[in-house]
Structure 1
Amino acid sequence: MRRPTRRFSSHRSPLPREFDARERFRALEDFISWNITANGYACTYAIHTDKDGRNPHAHILVANRRIDPKTGRWAAKSRSEFALDANGRRIPVIDPDTGRQKIGARNRKVWKRVNVSNNPLDSKEFLERLRREWADSCNALLPGYAVI
């Protein structure tokens, strides 16, 4: 049985208690527009507190596929690129019977290809950058004694 594909990624972001409701909304909207939708992702969010009004936080739900700015449609999950050797040159596909580079349709040489993810949201570096950006955007709005 095939494992279902994840379509959305969820992220929980704490909101500073020093912010009032308007500042929480502004901080979250700015963060989303500069860091998520600017990178082509569609998302939605909800701002919550616990039943006592403490622990303000937001849940951000981000689609795992970006929107292609040229077409306005969902972008491909991955793309195919030429595999490169240590010198940056294409790697030929060798025919084991002849020992020569394979020739494909229309007498074109065949080069080794690899699939590359088209989704930076899956990378640890991208998520760490988002966390830093969230802290920086909140700190810009917080008084000096309260920083993330």
Structure 2
Amino acid sequence: MAVDWALHNKPGNPHVHVMCTVRGFNRDRSWARMEKKVIALDADGNRIPVIDPKTEKQKVRARKGKEWEKKLWGHKDVQSNDWNSKQKLLE
């Protein structure tokens, strides 16, 4: 985590501004990802299909020039770290 701060020593209002990154760094010093997408699973550990409301069937993606179709599954975003939480800030 990188942190930058500025001290303001104003009469009657001394205070500090602190700015923290919510992203880490990779070994090559590039920014790390904030989150990643993972397949959403139900309570039994099965993938959750994306259902087309018109047909009530699982959506598929057909690629132009390809003979196959790819079934679409639900996904969710998972944070890479907890640096963006209020609880972590209070620590």
1:98, distance to aligned residue in structure 2 (A): 2.5
- Residue 95 of structure 1 aligns with an amino acid whose one-letter code is D
Higher relative strand content: 2
The structure showing larger relative contact order (alpha-carbon pairs under 8 Å, at least 6 residues apart) is: 2
- Counterpart-to-counterpart distance in 1, 2:80 and 2:41: 18
Q: Is the partner of 1:122 in helix, strand or coil? A: coil
1:87 maps onto 2:49 in alignment: no
**How far has the Cα of 1:118 moved from its partner?**
2.8
Distance, in Å, in 1 between the alignment partners of 2:40 and 2:23 is: 24
1:116 aligns with 2:74: no
CA distance in 2, matches of 1:119, 1:126: 10
Q: Deviations over 1:14-58 (max 9, x none)?
A: xxxxxxxxxxxxxxxxxxxxxxxxxxx223568x8x8xxxxxxx9
Q: Distance in 2 between matches of 1:121 and 1:102?
A: 35
Distance 1:63 1:76 in 2: 12
Which has the larger helix fraction?
Answer: 1
Unaligned ranges ≥5, structure 2: 10-15, 63-67
Cα RMSD between the aligned structures?
2.8
Match of 2:26 in 1: 68
Question: Which residue matches 1:11?
Answer: none
Distance of 2:19 and 2:26 partners within structure 1: 19
TM-score by length of 1: 0.41
8 Å CA contact 1:42–1:67 kept in 2: the answer is no
